[in-house]
Structure 1
Amino acid sequence: MTPLRQRMLDAMVLRGFAARTVEAYIHAMVGLAKHYRCSPDLLSAQQVQDYMLHLHRDRKLSFSSVNQAASGFKFFYGTVLGRDLRGFDVPFARVPQQVPELLSRQEVAALLTHVPHVTAGTFLRLAYATGLRLNELCHLRWRDVHAEVDRMCIHVRQGKGGKGRLVPLTPDTLAVLQQWRALQPPRPAEPLVPDTPDWVFTARTDRALPLHDQSPQRWYRAAVTAAGITKHGGVHTLRHCYATHLLEAGVDVYSLQQWLGHQHVQTTARYLHLVRPDAAVGARGASLALLTALPLTEPAAMAEPA
């Protein structure tokens, strides 16, 4: 490891950056250095801008991905190297805000009854019922599921930006978790490795590791295809459905902002545009138990993958 890379890592650790942010920023800097085959502290602002243009125009990366790299560059040149960014411009692209393709309650129910196996069904049900991000759900631990009557919630310890939060845990969601835990092999009284995280979803090859985030995306696509749903999206679509369906049920925007882990309420308020016009009649006053509010559909056969 070069001293420059260590300086950047130390600066991010000191500021409490999330692990995924650290990984993304280091990846961006490595790509920049490899592109020019020299240390990034020797590059000019124009060279950095030319590289960002290369990422979008030649490598076909989205503006969101380029902006993530730009954040890493700004941190490196502005914070690590201490340069005046007014003379070292790292621009951000304006990303058009697209309205996500939501699933109706009927489509969510159809998706959940066409999952390929029990693990997929449990994961996707929890994604819809809690609104957790994909990475948050993959890294959920049993110790963070609080089932006490006076404190039923899920403690998200490492959300986006390294922020923690509490998410309501309804009885129907707790039942899904309890059924899933009953299917798990018994854990030893004393873990083989001290302080081993008790992941709710583990990697198939190593139970000491959390579930990789690519597996749920495959499960989602398989369920969508089997259910005959043609709308685009991935597991994150269920988070959009969670937010919109709760707003239709009468949940206020500020509570939903806390549960989703949004820094600004304006981000949450965008879901107001997706609320059905007849929601005040059809859904207002419904409980927070999204799973039991889904329409009944014929369940598909489920079996664990070989």
Structure 2
Amino acid sequence: MNQQTAGVIGLVIAIILLSFNGFSMYTLSRSKELKKKRILVLALCLSVSDSLIGLEFLYGSILNLLKSNDTGYRYQCMVIRQFISGTIMASLLQTLIICLERINATFIIKQRILTALTSNISVAMCLLLPHVIALVRFGLDTLTGTFPCGVKYTAKLGFLYLHDIPAIFICCLIALSYGVVIFRITKKQKTIAVQVTELTGNQTEINWNKAFKMRQNMITLGIIIGLTFSSNLPRSVLVLYSYIVGGSDKAMHYLWAANNIFVLLNPLFDPFIYVLRIEKYREHLKSSFKSIWKSNRVTQTT
């Protein structure tokens, strides 16, 4: 696939990604009631990171369309790929924070360490630190000159050691968090089943509602795990594969697909996972679409 075709495909994906996350942030920010829930605040922060990925990917796609060999152009390609790597890492870390928040929600009394790890300060650090590391990596790469604006730059050892291996590690932590949540939910459900025989009326209904919400959280986290692994593992495996086969054209073709399609699965579908499962958010979407539909009909009739 040539560079300009890659640029066109990248533009389309980036625009779709920005549209999904932009609408998600707009609806969340307008609802004061929704923002009171910590999980939605974290989802809003994740949408910001995902939107940054879209903006950076959009800029990178424009660079692909320009197709120049100028030194300044090559530096721009290098820095934008480093920043995309940093933002993807930030998005992964924020996904881990959401999983930790779900663990904390299974406790009657919030755990201090989990509360600290899921605080706004932690979210800000997870967003800033990967970008600082990306900027340092770019500075170190410039010491050895410039690199062509292609997929081979993202297969360097620096990306393998400072992006792919840490990404796999974070994915494993997310999976471990999911296991902890399942264990605690299963334990609580057994407790509720015992309590149901001793309770009547509203108390029984309340307990079963809690169990139902816990099962919903478990399903949501399961989808998160599957999407996170399918989004990040292909690239890491293909980088290793490219070293085994000596960076062949076939390996670079597969790596391009991992960089430009699979990696974007997370930011593309995050709004649906974290937000559309929430009933009040769906109500906001329905009312928004109805108002848009009515305004369009009024415009057409006039």
Q: TM-score, normalised by structure 1?
A: 0.24
Q: Going by fraction, where is helix more abundant, 1 or 2?
A: 2
Q: TM-score, normalised by structure 2?
A: 0.24
